[in-house]
Amino acid sequence: MGMMVRGSDRLRILQKRKRIDKLKTITVTAMAVLFAIVFLLPIILTFTNSFMSASEISANYGSIFATTDKGGKVFVSKTVNLKLIPDMITLGQYITVLFKSPEYLFKFWNSVIYTVPIVIVQLGIATLASYGFARYDGRLKRAIFFAYIVMMLMPYQVTLVPNFLVSRSLGLYGTAWSILLPGFFSPFAVYLLTKFMKRIPTEVMEAASIDGANEWMIFSRICMPLCKGGLASIAILVFFDYWNMVEQPLILLPDADKHPLSVFLSKINTGEISLAFAVAVIYLVPPLLIFLYGEDYLVEGISYQGGIKG
């Protein structure tokens, strides 16, 4: 008799706990969903709004952007309507951007010619350097590596002054090189890749060395293949960073024609505000594709960064 009561009690407790667990899962999931909506909404809205017609955009948002333009007299409603789905879906804005207003494509191209070489060359220099750091540790090397970390941590407010001075004295100021060269030698990729390479057991390299491989062979045949994932993740991080550059062009490129789209997009004038969403989406596509294809690499790369001492 007593045993049975205890048994049913236990069952009840178990059921109760299950209920609480279920409730907890629901609450946590609800919170996650809420956060996800907040995180995604700006991106989704940019996409959907890019399919609106010019008149719909100016009717919806005119009162916002008209305030910045004192000259134009545009009839707009006083209230702003945020719409998830356009009244009429049109590709008109894209057609205008791609075929009728070449200046946006020029600026897009500027972004490409700054970002792509920086990603490739920074990685190339960094793979060499990180092998140098990871192999044959020494007191001097450790001190230099620490200096790299300090440089990596410095914000643009500090590093742009030296970059500016060099650009001026080498006559690069105002040219693409003033953006490219500091990007090539940025210590970020060196730092991260060194962390990747230090995880390769020294025994692997020593074994190759005993088998008669020289340093270049160890570097190119053993280290590089083992660091593929690391290289991919760093390439993604560097790409995102430079695709979004704002500070450097503002200071190093006085000629606005040379600005990348990441700066120019905000200068879009009120008359063309309907194009802005389409341009924003076009600018978002390359990082979006890279993100969707390379998310696992990206996560791995970020995970490796943690622990500055490591």
Task: Determine if 108 is a binding residue for other proteins (CB under 8 A).
Answer: no
Most distant CA pair in the chain: distance in Å?
Answer: 96
Task: Determine if 2 is a binding residue for other proteins (CB under 8 A).
Answer: no
Tell me the C-alpha distance between 52 and 274, whole Å: 8
Q: Which lies closer to other proteins via its Cβ, residue 1 or residue 75?
A: 75
Count CB neighbours of 113 within 10 A.
14
Task: Determine if 277 is a binding residue for other proteins (CB under 8 A).
Answer: yes
Q: Which residues 160-219 are close enough to bind other proteins by CB under 8 A?
A: 160-166, 181-182, 184-185, 187, 190, 209, 215, 219
CB 214, min distance to other proteins, A: 8
Task: Determine if 90 is a binding residue for other proteins (CB under 8 A).
Answer: no
Tell me the C-alpha distance between 100 and 35, whole Å: 39
Task: Determine if 114 is a binding residue for other proteins (CB under 8 A).
Answer: no
Angle (CA) 52 256 279, round 5°: 15
Q: Is 305 exposed, middle or buried (0-12, 13-18, 19+ CB in 10 A)?
A: middle
Q: Which of 104, 108, 243, 297 binds other proteins (CB under 8 A)?
A: 243
Task: Determine if 4 is a binding residue for other proteins (CB under 8 A).
Answer: no
Q: Which lies closer to other proteins via its Cβ, residue 227 or residue 261?
A: 261
CB 172 within 8 A of CB 178: yes
Q: Which residues 28-47 are close enough to bind other proteins by CB under 8 A?
A: 28-29, 31-32, 35-36, 38-40, 42-43, 45-46
Of the candidates 183, 224, 197, the residue with the CA atom closest to the CA atom of residue 133: 197
Residue carrying the six token digits 């948002």 = 61
CB 106, min distance to other proteins, A: 15
Q: Which of 86, 92, 117, 132 binds other proteins (CB under 8 A)?
A: 132
Tell how far CA 281 is from the center of its chain.
15
Q: Which lies closer to other proteins via its Cβ, residue 91 or residue 150?
A: 150
Task: Determine if 100 is a binding residue for other proteins (CB under 8 A).
Answer: no
Q: Which of 75, 212, 225, 266 binds other proteins (CB under 8 A)?
A: 266
Q: Which lies closer to other proteins via its Cβ, residue 38 or residue 85?
A: 38
Q: Which of 59, 156, 175, 198 binds other proteins (CB under 8 A)?
A: 156
Contacts 24+ apart (CB under 8 A), 298-307: 298/233, 298/236, 298/237, 299/233, 300/229, 300/230, 300/233, 301/192, 301/230, 301/232, 301/233, 301/234, 301/236, 301/237, 302/233, 302/237, 304/192, 304/195, 304/196, 304/230, 304/233, 305/192, 305/195
Q: Which of 17, 19, 24, 221 binds other proteins (CB under 8 A)?
A: 24
Q: Which lies closer to other proteins via its Cβ, residue 9 or residue 247?
A: 247
Residue carrying the six token digits 């356009």 = 86
Binding residues for other proteins, rule CB under 8 A, total 98
Task: Determine if 284 is a binding residue for other proteins (CB under 8 A).
Answer: yes
Task: Determine if 151 is a binding residue for other proteins (CB under 8 A).
Answer: yes
CB 11, min distance to other proteins, A: 22
Task: Determine if 13 is a binding residue for other proteins (CB under 8 A).
Answer: no
